[in-house]
Amino acid sequence: MDSFLNSMPKAELHLHLEGTLEPELMFALAERNGIELPYASVDELSRAYNFGNLQDFLDLYYQGAEVLQTEQDFYDLTWAYIERCKAQNVIHIEPFFDPQTHTERSIPFATVIRGISRALADAESKYGISSGLIMCFLRHLSELEAFNTLHQAEPYLDNIIGIGLDSSEQGHPPAKFERVFAKARSMGLLAVAHAGEEGPAQNIIDALDLLHVDRIDHGVRATDDAELMQRLAQEKMALTVCPLSNTRLRVFDDMSQHNILQMLEQGVKVTVNSDDPAYFGGYLTENFIALEQGLGMTRGQALELARNSFEYSFASPNRKAEMLALLGKLG
């Protein structure tokens, strides 16, 4: 089953590129850029990855991202993730990046997006991995700062398919970003938002009604609200669920308590994703394996989850058909 899960073609729709920064690469980039890390070794850093909640993780994640300085750093970060995708037969990706984590440190927007985009272009030409890049706004920052970021993205709209919303959910509800999402959508960008990860089901409803998102990231708190569950199923609104992230950030105490398969069986269009794999102990295959081990996911359920990842991706109709056909061959 593990090798089946690894070789099964799949798409990743919820992945923060900054969250793919493995400790080894963090140390290598720190050295290359003359930055002193507050950890003596890779082991010491890895031992710090023991999070009580989302904010504990975010504090370390933003600190780690400080080693990213040059266009080549962003290329190397992205390329290392592409190699993981290649090894796990992830054939389509829609990664997130957080420009504000970098522009706040005076790294130009252009440096970030050029490095990432060059690696994504190489992924397509060398490995046939298709992609669409999503730019996230940090919800702990202001609406004005989000508008400024959208403005900085204007010369690069060909490199971006959509916008997202991430960082601390508590205290920063969707309503704060209603106007900047409306503006981005008027520019032709698709929209997603983290909602119902640590925050209440109401944040999912508000992401739908105020931000008019095309997908919900996480959304696991939807099961608190039966009416919302029905709506999600009826509207075929996909949720990009991240099992290992949820257990590492204590959204669920144990994988055996995770609700992803319950949602799948209730007709909600859930997908499996890795969120921040360098911090949470696994890429896409490891997330599928965790569902098999913790919840007894069947082969049929794994195939349905992979099918959802293609169906609810933002790929073109032709590309979707091509990817679904590859999966069809497996049953």
**Which chain residues interact with ligand ADE by CB under 6 A?**
16, 19, 54, 61, 166-167, 194, 197, 245, 275-276
Least separation in angstroms between CB 1 and ligand ADE: 27
Q: In what order do the strands lie in the sheet with 270-272?
A: 96-97, 134-138, 162-166, 190-195, 215-218, 239-241, 270-272
* Segment 264 to 303, residues that bind Zn ion, using CB under 5 A: 275
Q: How many residues does the chain have?
A: 331
Backbone angles phi, psi at 69, to 5 degrees: -125, -40
**CB-based contacts of 203: which residues, under 8 Å, 6+ apart?**
169, 173, 174, 195, 196, 221
Q: Token pair of 4, please? A: 């089946």
Please identify, using beta-carbon distances, which residue of 98 and 275 lies nearer to Zn ion. Answer: 275
Q: Give the rounded distance of the alpha carbon of 23 from its chain centre.
A: 19
Please identify, using beta-carbon distances, which residue of 39 and 61 lies nearer to Zn ion. Answer: 61
For the beta carbon of residue 228, count every other beta carbon within 10 angstroms. Answer: 21
Least separation in angstroms between CB 237 and ligand ADE: 19
| Coil vs helix vs strand at 234 | helix
Backbone angles phi, psi at 259, to 5 degrees: -100, 10
Residue nearest to ligand ADE (CB): 166
Least separation in angstroms between CB 276 and ligand ADE: 5
- The reply to whether 102 sits in an annotated binding site is no
Please identify, using beta-carbon distances, which residue of 91 and 112 lies nearer to ligand ADE. Answer: 112
- The reply to whether 217 sits in an annotated binding site is no
Least separation in angstroms between CB 166 and Zn ion: 5
Q: How far apart are CA 305 and CA 178, in angstroms?
A: 30
- The reply to whether 275 sits in an annotated binding site is yes
**CB-based contacts of 172: which residues, under 8 Å, 6+ apart?**
139, 140
The option from ligand ADE, Zn ion, none interacting with 54 (CB < 5 to 8 A, set by class) reads ligand ADE
Q: Token pair of 193, please? A: 């938002």
For the beta carbon of residue 227, count every other beta carbon within 10 angstroms. Answer: 9
Would residue 22 show up in a list of annotated catalytic residues for this protein? no
**Which CA distances in Å does 136 have to 9, 153, 206, 317?**
26, 11, 17, 25
- The reply to whether 76 sits in an annotated binding site is no
- The reply to whether 206 sits in an annotated binding site is no
The catalytic residue among 12, 22, 94, 197 is 197
Q: How far apart are CA 238 and CA 232, in angstroms?
A: 8
Q: Which amino acid, 135? A: M
Please identify, using beta-carbon distances, which residue of 71 and 275 lies nearer to Zn ion. Answer: 275
Residue 16 carries which DSSP code?
Answer: B
Please identify, using beta-carbon distances, which residue of 132 and 199 lies nearer to ligand ADE. Answer: 199
Least separation in angstroms between CB 68 and Zn ion: 18
The option from ligand ADE, Zn ion, none interacting with 22 (CB < 5 to 8 A, set by class) reads none
The option from ligand ADE, Zn ion, none interacting with 19 (CB < 5 to 8 A, set by class) reads ligand ADE
Residue nearest to Zn ion (CB): 275
Q: Which residues are annotated as a binding site for substrate?
A: 276
Which residues contribute to the annotated binding site? 14, 16, 194, 275-276
Catalytic (active-site) positions = 197
Binding region for Zn ion (CB under 5 A): 275
Detail the residues annotated as belonging to a binding site for Zn(2+).
14, 16, 194, 275
